[in-house]
Structure 1
Amino acid sequence: MSASTHPLWPLDRVLASPGRAELTPDAAGGGALLSLTGDWTLAHYKALNARAAALRARIGPEVRIDPSALGAIDTAGAKLLHSLLGAQRLAELAADASALPAERRALLKAVASALDVEAAAPPRAGNALADVLEHVGRTMGVFWQHVVGLTGFIGLILETALRVMVQPRRWRITALVANLEKTALDAVPIIALLTFLVGAVVAFLGATVLADFGASIFTVDLIAYSFLREFGVLLAAIIVAGRTASAFTAQIGSMRANEEVDAIRVLGLDPIELLVLPRVYALLLALPMLSFVAMVSGIVGGMLVSALTLDISPVMFLSRLESNVGLIHFLVGMAKAPIFAFLIAVIGCLEGFRVQGSAQSVGEHTTSAVVQSIFVVIVVDAIAALFCMEMGW
């Protein structure tokens, strides 16, 4: 049979530019020959897909495939070949070592395997309740993983701290002082200002509510109790969580992304000892001092508002503060500061070590560190409040 009378003639072309498929009579086998030539890439996908759809119905089992002139191919081109030839023919082509180089056969096998898995997956029936329960289950699983990771990291820090404590030559005083300056001294202005304003707001609320009962003098007790027991340490911890935990995560995460942590390990040094302990110690010292500043600043703000709106002079304010507010309230507030500091520092450093190596990962874990730190601080503060109430403190 001549070429002009063959049922698959004339020539069909998928693309006039690089990617092309020619369906011609097969002189050797007497059937038809599909010659794959040019580049089958994403750049030519639209035209290739249109012509492949026209050829797909004409590719029968008698058609022989010739990929000897095939140029570049990517996953888009491999997917198009899968739709054109079918899974079985593509698998035969990928198994023929004489037809294609090893890297192209590997690409075709990977794409065919992925498409076969996708096609074999049964359609998922929608169920709102099941979706909600699945989401809750996944969330609880992630939460449990975070709890296990956090407790394990705390144990690692404590073990390293005890080991280093008995070896004074390994103490890193310079790193401790540098971190103490960043976490404590640089944070004093913002904490003092914010707690001063919150103290003024609390005094305004007390003046508004208590004045109706003729008990404006109890505004002093309200300000003192709230800032000595709760607001002073809690506001300081929340500000430190947003300011310092994020900094710890970004610093260690950037080192992870730049493979500096791996370099420290290669040098035979311990990243926990070098990167974590100085930050933990610095925050353990910084947060109690910042909490004291917050307490004093909040009380001063409340005292100023009391003097301006309630005619409670500073002398009367301090006199009632001394006579009616016990030292136990100050001690309860200060006792929570080291606990908050340790948890904030541990979470910030742990999220830094979880960074995978990209800028996006650094941002995600920095956000996670801030959210986790604030969440843990508030939960622990609530537990401490319940404990102190039961103990009568």
Structure 2
Amino acid sequence: MASTDSSPGRLRVQDGRLHISGSWTLEHHAALKALVRSHRGGAEVAAADESVDLSGLAGLDTAGARLLVALLGAERMADVARWAPDLPEARQALLATVARVLREPLEPQPPRRSPLGDLLVDIGERVGGLWRQQRQLLAFIGLTLATLLACLLRPWRWRLTSLVAHIHQTGLNAVPIVALLTFLVGAVVAFLGATVLRDFGATIFTVNLVAFAFLREFGVLLAAILLAGRTASAFTAQIGAMKANEEIDAIRALGLDPVELLVLPRLLAMLVILPILTLIGMLSGILGGALVCIFLLDITTTQFLTILQRDIPLSHFLVGMGKAPLFAFLIAVIGCLEGFKVTGSARSVGEHTTSSVVQSIFMVILLDAVAALFFMEMGW
């Protein structure tokens, strides 16, 4: 019968047999390590398995098993169940597991790369991630358009209550900030234009500068950027929270389509509200520039309005308004897609919310630059 002694482990050689007894645990690790070192330095470990007696073990843990494996060898201890059948099965399993782990060779470390190699690998991974991201976006755009077309042919499936709620949330609440921002930017553009044009005696053309800038670019661009930061993040957070709480799975279990239920109302709300906010941004920006022209450049209100009517073609307004639905579509799709990518944790919600804002702003600016080049080449 095994001893219940909790004293530190002991090693004793008697009649050519190595007796191992006592407690081989972490509590006595320092003393046991010294004992193993002195025994291995002063005497040979018995070569035959039958010459080792483990019946006196009073306690054993991983630290003690590691020392016994170092004393007797990993090969012998891996087969401890054969030559020490009286040892409890739990201790046999512990000794065999530690021996097997110590016997297996360590995996070779990957070769160390140079800083240039690390940079190239990082660039490759980012490019690959960007390519996968754009493929997912294209696939989701196709799915959204297919669902939208199917719902347009079945008006009884339209969710007007959700649509109106999202229009109020994403649009009406954004009117003050869009109007204020574009007003201030209009004033700044007029200041800068007047500063440059004054040297040429052409301050009157500040009116044309402000009108061109806001009708073609700044009105739609500032409104889209604000909605990308304000609304795309809200879409991602809302759908991401539903994904984390498994509400998306519940919607599918009820036989409903999450794209039709969650994406289409947000998409249609953006398609409705961004052109309206673009118009408000155009008017507010021109108003801010008009106040600077009237109060600082001695341009009367009549002159300002006359120049707008005479020198500013309607095509500039149409170019700016034509960009709004495209920007609205991209912002809504990116925001919803990032929400569906959430994996279930609060950290994932935050990461994808940030990603949706960055992607939306980047895509808006990229498409605006491409559109500007296209319209310039076309002479529009």
Using the size of structure 2 for normalisation, the TM-score is: 0.82
How far did residue 276 of structure 1 move? 0.8
Q: CA offsets per residue over residues 165-191 of structure 1, 9 Å max, x none?
A: 212121111111101101100000001
Question: Do residues 247 (structure 1) and 234 (structure 2) align?
Answer: yes
Letter in 2 for 1:167: R
Work out which of the residue numbers 361, 367, 377 in structure 1 matches 2:364: 377
Native 8 Å contact 2:24 2:65 kept in 1: no
Q: Does residue 1:295 correspond to 2:261, yes or no?
A: no
Equivalent in 90, 106, 126 of residue 100 of structure 1: 90
Q: Which amino acid aligns with 1:92?
A: A
Which residue of structure 2 lines up, in the alignment, with residue 198 of structure 1? Answer: 185
| Counterparts of 1:347 and 1:357, CA distance in 2 | 19
Instruction: Confirm or deny that 1:160 pairs with 2:147.
Output: yes
Pick from 117, 120, 128 the counterpart of residue 115 of structure 2. Answer: 128
For 2:217, the aligned partner's letter is: E
Distance of aligned partners of 1:121 and 1:215 in 2 relative to their CA distance in 1, 3 Å threshold: same
Check the 8 A contact 1:82/1:90 in 2, yes or no: no
Equivalences for 1:243-392 in 2 at 5 Å?
Answer: 243-392=230-379
Task: Give the letter aligned to residue 138 of structure 1.
Answer: E
**Rounded Cα–Cα distance in structure 2 between residues aligned with 1:201 and 1:35:** 85
3-state DSSP of counterpart to 1:328: helix
Q: How many residues align?
A: 356
| Aligned-partner Cα distance in 2 for 1:54–1:296 | 86
Deviation of 1:92 (Å): 3.0
Show structure 2 runs of 5+ residues with no match: 1-5, 47-51
Evaluate the alpha carbon distance shift between residue 178 and residue 93 of structure 1 in structure 2; reply closer, same or farther with a 3 A threshold.
farther
> How do residues 139-178 of structure 1 correspond to structure 2 at under 5 angstroms?
139-178=126-165
Shift of 1:266: 1.3
CA distance in 2, matches of 1:25, 1:88: 21
Q: Secondary structure at the match of 1:124?
A: coil
Percent identity over the alignment is 53
AA aligned to 1:125 is R
Deviation, structure 1 residue 30: 2.5
Q: Which moved further from structure 2: 144-153 or 158-167?
A: 158-167
**1:21-45 CA distances to partner (integer Å, 9 max, x unpaired)?**
x35448999325377767x7xxxxx
The aligned residue for residue 201 of structure 2 is: 214
Gaps of 5+ in 1: 1-10, 14-21, 41-46, 72-76
Measured in 2, the distance between the counterparts of 1:312 and 1:94 equals 100
Q: Are 1:68 and 1:99, in contact at CA under 8 Å, matched by a contact in 2?
A: no
Match in the other structure for 1:5: none
Answer with 47-56 or 239-248: which moved more.
47-56
Match for 2:17 among 30, 35, 46?
30
**Superposed CA offset, 1:183-221 (max 9, x none):** 100000001001100000000001100011000010001
Return the letter of the residue paired with 1:381.
Answer: D
Q: Kindly provide the CA deviation profile for residues 94-150 of structure 1, in whole angstroms up to 9, marking residues without a partner as x.
A: 999973399x97xx69x949x968x32235223121111111101111101101111
SS in 2 for 1:296: helix
Q: Confirm or deny: 8 A CA contact 1:91 1:112 kept in the other structure.
A: no
Residue 327 to residue 211, structure 1, CA distance change in 2 (3 Å)? same
Shift of the alpha carbon at 1:369? 0.6
Aligned equivalents of 1:48, 1:156: Cα separation in 2: 66
Q: CA RMSD in A?
A: 3.5
Quote the Cα distance in structure 2 between the aligned partners of 1:90 and 1:334.
82
Q: Distance in 2 between matches of 1:350 and 1:94?
A: 57
**SS of equivalent residue, structure 1 residue 120:** coil
Q: Which amino acid aligns with 2:90?
A: L
Aligned equivalents of 2:311 and 2:68: distance in 1? 87
Q: Within 2, Cα distance between the matches of 1:90 and 1:149?
A: 55
CA contact (8 A) 2:294 2:301 kept: yes
Q: Name the SS for the 1:268 alignment partner.
A: coil
Q: Secondary structure at the match of 1:126?
A: coil
Quote the residue 1:187 is aligned against.
Answer: 174
Asked whether 1:228 is paired with 2:228, we answer no
Contact 1:68 1:100 in 2 (8 A): no
Q: Once the two structures are superposed, what CA deviation does each residue of 1:68-95 show, in whole Å capped at 9, x if it has no partner?
A: 9557xxxxx68x9669847946993899
- Structure 1 CA distance for aligned equivalents of residues 283 and 262 of structure 2: 32
The letter of the residue matching 1:370 is: V
Distance in 2 (alpha carbons) for counterparts of 1:334 and 1:125? 54
